[in-house]
Structure 1
Amino acid sequence: MATVTDVKVRTGRRSELGLLGLAVGLAVLARGLVDYHADFLELDELAIYAAGWTAVALLIHLAIRRWAPFADPVLVPAVLGLNGIGLAMIRRMDFAYAARGRDTDFGEVQIAWTLLGVALAMLVILLLRDYRLLRRFTYTAGVLGLIGLLLPLVPGLGTEINGARIWISVFGRSLQPAEFAKIAFVIFFAGFLVTNRDTLALAGPKVLGMRFPRPRDMGPLALVWVAAMLVQIYERDLGTSLLLFGIFVAMLYVATERLSWVIVGLGMFATGAVLAGALFSHVASRYTAWLHALDAEVYRSGTSEQLVRGLFGMASGGLFGTGLGEGRPDLVPYAESDFIVASIGEELGLTGLMAILTLYVIIVQRAMRTAIGTRHGFGKLLAAGLGFAIALQVFIVVGGVTRVIPLTGLTTPFLAYGGSSMLANWIVIGLLLRLSDQARRPEEVTP
């Protein structure tokens, strides 16, 4: 007579713990190299830093083990590895600025933002026990996203920095509400598309074997396109404009599996970008810096100076870099934030930069794997949208710094200095942990 034996389901928590040890070691090693080359290495201080990172890793590990035991075991180690490298590089910039007579505390402030971001991620997995509850707030999320985009335009609240009006001042600190708006928009897009995807996927005429959407079904795409163009024109923020529109088109493709939506979407954005460049001088200057960066006249005017310095910095790093703490990334303006990719490229070289990009690929791949494994349509779109958000943001930043696309003001997730980006992207990780927990959880196991 056959007997049935219980099969123990592997959660991956032991693997996560081992990977967290590697991530902590990477963060501590990077900080130690920065301090050593700055002649500031104190072993007792480094030991405290190592103990602090270990405590953070153990805390979030225990939180996942308690509240999301089936969550993806690779996400958090990959993020902590990136975060640790970013903190070391930002501290390295503090030393570089101090050598030039400019005192900054970017490194210490970023540590505080990191701790707050980790706390928010744990709060997400504690409070959000079922991601499907978010679908109830589909249109609320859309409204909140729009409010977030419009806040910088409010007189007295919004502030203009480096020619872009994408910031608000809160308690003496500058926050970028678009970072949080992208999360709200992903929730809105997921809820809207899962409700309307049959109409968007099946209706429409065929042209050359490809089914194109009907004009009356183009309303949502047109509205998002208009919003993206307004952000680009009035807030002078090409990066957020491209990010939001790109997320929507990518999620639209996932929902409908129709390449025609991507073709139409890219055509609309390209048309809008060309028109904006022709009609508005501040948009045109971005395109000029991109297309003619190395022209002497453009460089001397300051239009492309930052971009060119970053390119030459990465070129000087070569294949293996000058060494962490031994380059001159401070010659590039905003090397701790907008151009941290160029700073890392100079000191870690192409090899180090490719390793960092590989960590981003791993994060996005885990998000897409979660989307595939999720049983609920809303969850599939939500996980895919969050993964695309990270992928597109990295592409926009790295593409701008390497002159593949026009330079934008977005920050590199988990690496660059900036509280808004750090908090928002840790919230994204919290959502992905909850999604992956429910996707990987066996049906017979109740939360």
Structure 2
Amino acid sequence: MIAVTRRRPELGLLFWVAALGITGSVAVAAAEVAGFRPQQLVIPVTFVVIAFALHVFLAARGVRGDQLLLPIAAALTAIGLVLVQRLASNLLVQQLSWTLIAAGAFAGTILIPRDLTALSRFKWTWALLGVLLLISPLLPVIGREVNGARIWLGVGTVTFEPWEAVKILLVIFFAAYLEEFREVLAQTQRRFGPIPVPPVPYLVPIVAMWAIAMVVMVFERDLGATLLFLGIFLAMLYLATGEAFYTLIGLALLLVGGFVAYHVFAHVAARVDIWLHPFAEDVRFGIGYQLVQGLFALANGGLFGAGLGNGMPDRIPVVWSD
């Protein structure tokens, strides 16, 4: 029999999340030309029901885990729903549908026996799946290019970004690999000056995974994901070994790679030029338009913006994405 646990801190925080989601939705609706209509509360109230249902589920299952994780995830989801309502209300039902799917996946992780050793035993399987998903947007028929970045998969009318699954798979691989070989990587006796040099056979697989991901993502023109992947790689390597030199070497490689990419890939050079010279005549009304509008918005509304419903997001192309 499962003992019911009382998760009072979590419950209290969820009331604040509920207030955030509902008041945010009402504020957006009130700022619209048509004004607030009671039926507009259906989606935020549905979200609140989902959040509290997860709380009841955790308590009923006797889960004694961290009581901050669910409220934090729920708060971010509430903010996302409010912003989608403001920027593209026609996508709000779709956003709520994904929220429901995510809640089901969350509950599934509680119901499924958590034998983490099973994950580590199949680390190379997760690595292979991660690489295949990275490559998949480059394939014909299923690969989709949107706004210059080929990072999407399309099946019929449904498109999704496989990078979200790749992050999970490669983090599992890195964690399993580093857990198995952390002592070899951290306690090596060989050094090149102040830099520890672990046995090459132990370092090659993880560096190869990183290199494959970097090359694929450069060709997919998704620089943000490339930087995120590198950050995950370096952070986990540092946590496993405690050697700051690995992080410094990784950052140095990033700078060298960025310099080379700037001179080789036109889309990388364009991103850097936009950042350096956003108000140049040939940039601010072209490829740098969105960045310039963002700077104007920050100057006008400050760090926290002008308030829900008081901005001018319609001036930004594809604002619901950017």
CA apart distance, 1:92: 1.0
CA apart distance, 1:34: 0.3
Alpha-carbon distance between aligned partners in 2 of 1:50 and 1:297, rounded to the nearest angstrom: 43
In structure 1, the partner of 2:299 is 315
Q: Secondary structure at the match of 2:122?
A: helix
Give runs of aligned pairs for residues 167-182 of structure 1, distance below 5 A.
167-182=152-167
In structure 2, the partner of 1:16 is 10
In structure 1, the partner of 2:85 is 91
For structure 1, the residue ranges without an aligned partner over 5 or more in a row are 1-8, 95-103, 339-447
Q: Residue 228 of structure 1 contacts residue 242 of structure 1 at CA under 8 Å; is this kept in 2?
A: no
CA apart distance, 1:254: 0.4
1:53 and 2:47 correspond? yes
Alpha-carbon distance between aligned partners in 1 of 2:4 and 2:251, rounded to the nearest angstrom: 42
Q: Residue 228 of structure 1 contacts residue 245 of structure 1 at CA under 8 Å; is this kept in 2?
A: no
For structure 2, the residue ranges without an aligned partner over 5 or more in a row are none
1:328 and 2:312 correspond? yes
Q: Measured at CA, do residues 21 and 129 of structure 1 come closer, stay the same or move farther in structure 2, by a change above 3 Å?
A: same
CA apart distance, 1:27: 0.2
In structure 2, the partner of 1:164 is 149
Give runs of aligned pairs for residues 8-87 of structure 1, distance below 5 A.
13-42=7-36, 44-67=38-61, 69-87=63-81
Alpha-carbon distance between aligned partners in 2 of 1:297 and 1:58, rounded to the nearest angstrom: 51
Q: Pick from 235, 249, 259: which aligns with 1:274?
A: 259
Q: Measured at CA, do residues 321 and 242 of structure 1 come closer, stay the same or move farther in structure 2, by a change above 3 Å?
A: closer
Q: Residue 253 of structure 1 contacts residue 261 of structure 1 at CA under 8 Å; is this kept in 2?
A: yes
CA apart distance, 1:236: 0.9
Q: Deviations over 1:150-189 (max 9, x none)?
A: 1101111101111111001023111111110110001111
1:236 and 2:234 correspond? no
Q: Residue 91 of structure 1 contacts residue 107 of structure 1 at CA under 8 Å; is this kept in 2?
A: yes
Q: Residue 133 of structure 2 contacts residue 163 of structure 2 at CA under 8 Å; is this kept in 1?
A: yes
Q: Identity across aligned pairs (percent)?
A: 37
1:211 aligned partner, one-letter code:
P
Q: Residue 152 of structure 2 contacts residue 159 of structure 2 at CA under 8 Å; is this kept in 1?
A: yes
Give the alignment's Cα RMSD to 1 decimal.
2.3
Q: Measured at CA, do residues 280 and 186 of structure 1 come closer, stay the same or move farther in structure 2, by a change above 3 Å?
A: same
In structure 2, the partner of 1:261 is 246
Q: Secondary structure at the match of 2:153?
A: strand
Q: Deviations over 1:357-392 (max 9, x none)?
A: xxxxxxxxxxxxxxxxxxxxxxxxxxxxxxxxxxxx
1:33 aligned partner, one-letter code:
A
Alpha-carbon distance between aligned partners in 2 of 1:218 and 1:132, rounded to the nearest angstrom: 22
2:183 aligned partner, one-letter code:
D
User: TM-score scaled by structure 2?
Assistant: 0.91
1:313 aligned partner, one-letter code:
A
CA apart distance, 1:241: 1.5
In structure 2, the partner of 1:125 is 110
1:48 aligned partner, one-letter code:
V
Q: How many correspondences in the alignment? A: 320
Q: Measured at CA, do residues 245 and 19 of structure 1 come closer, stay the same or move farther in structure 2, by a change above 3 Å?
A: same
Q: Residue 161 of structure 1 contacts residue 167 of structure 1 at CA under 8 Å; is this kept in 2?
A: yes
Q: Residue 218 of structure 2 contacts residue 226 of structure 2 at CA under 8 Å; is this kept in 1?
A: no
Alpha-carbon distance between aligned partners in 1 of 2:110 and 2:248, rounded to the nearest angstrom: 37
Alpha-carbon distance between aligned partners in 2 of 1:106 and 1:178, rounded to the nearest angstrom: 21
In structure 2, the partner of 1:223 is 208
Alpha-carbon distance between aligned partners in 2 of 1:145 and 1:121, rounded to the nearest angstrom: 21
Give runs of aligned pairs for residues 180-191 of structure 1, distance below 5 A.
180-191=165-176
User: TM-score scaled by structure 1?
Assistant: 0.67
